[in-house]
């Protein structure tokens, strides 16, 4: 925190500066100063599940441009297959929209669970399409990316649940 304050106080970074750092509690904080207004964005990114959801959305977008299916000895991009592309875009949009639901944790947790179902459907359809050809030889990166955004969504769900437990325990103490 002290390092971030020193960097912000320097004249080079005075106008606008985005600085990410991890404190001892493993929370991600975004220090954003642009003409003195940063409260909404800072409170949104301060939770680690927002970072996990952002990473999951970026992986979804990357999956569109990576060769993922091998059909008849020809590698296809997910963006060329209408069902894979639509499931991937839906998952990315849900992940991005879920970042902005940080004030309503129960709704955010339910939307993450919905996104998990969409991702499982995407993985299932990709495996089915790959096996329908008769051989199973997917591109390694194209096979790992959906699993990675499944993992990041599961991590986000875990930390949302953890935040909800923390808030409920604080409500009991009052």
Angle between helices 105-132 and 140-173 (to 10 degrees): 160
Q: What is the pLDDT of residue 107?
A: 93
Burial class for 23, CB neighbours closer than 10 Å (0-12, 13-18, 19+): exposed
- How many Å apart are CA 140 and CA 136, to the nearest integer? 11
Q: What is the pLDDT of residue 143?
A: 84
Q: Which of 43, 59, 75 is the last residue of a domain?
A: 43
34 and 79 share a domain?
no
DSSP helix/strand/coil, 22: strand
38 and 52 share a domain?
no
90 and 147 share a domain?
yes
59 and 94 share a domain?
yes
Strands (E), 16-150: 16-22, 28-34, 67-71, 74-77
Range of the domain at 28: 2-43
Q: What is the pLDDT of residue 79?
A: 80
pLDDT in tens, the chain (174 residues): 444 444 444 444 433 333 333 333 333 344 344 444 445 554 555 678 899 999 999 999 999 888 887 776 667 787 888 898 999 999 999 999 999 988 888 999 999 999 999 999 999 998 888 888 777 667 788 889 999 999 999 999 999 999 888 888 887 766
- How many Å apart are CA 116 and CA 15, to the nearest integer? 40
pTM over 0.75: no
For residue 42, how far is the Cα from the chain centroid? 17
> How many residues appear in the chain?
174
Q: What is the pLDDT of residue 3?
A: 44
Nearest of 122, 113, 128 to residue 59 by alpha carbon: 122
57 and 38 share a domain?
no
Structural domain count of the chain: 2
70 and 102 share a domain?
yes
29 and 78 share a domain?
no
8 and 54 share a domain?
no
- How many Å apart are CA 140 and CA 172, to the nearest integer? 48
H helices of 46-81, in order, are: 48-64
């Amino acid at each position: 925190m002290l390092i971030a304050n020193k960097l912000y106080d320097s004249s080079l970074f005075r106008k606008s500066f985005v600085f990410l750092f991890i404190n001892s509690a493993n929370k991600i904080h975004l220090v954003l100063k642009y003409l003195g207004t940063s409260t909404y964005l800072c409170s949104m990114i301060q939770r680690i599940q927002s970072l996990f959801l952002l990473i999951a959305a970026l992986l979804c977008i990357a999956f569109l441009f990576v060769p993922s299916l091998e059909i008849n000895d020809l590698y296809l991009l997910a963006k060329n297959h209408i069902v894979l592309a639509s499931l991937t875009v839906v998952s990315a949009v849900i992940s991005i929209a879920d970042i902005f639901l940080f004030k309503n944790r129960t709704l955010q947790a339910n939307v993450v669970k919905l996104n998990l179902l969409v991702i499982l459907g995407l993985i299932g359809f990709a495996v089915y399409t790959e096996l329908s050809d008769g051989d199973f030889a997917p591109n390694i990166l194209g096979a790992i990316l959906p699993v990675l955004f499944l993992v990041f969504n599961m991590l986000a769900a875990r930390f949302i649940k953890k935040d909800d437990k923390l808030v409920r325990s604080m409500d009991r103490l009052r």
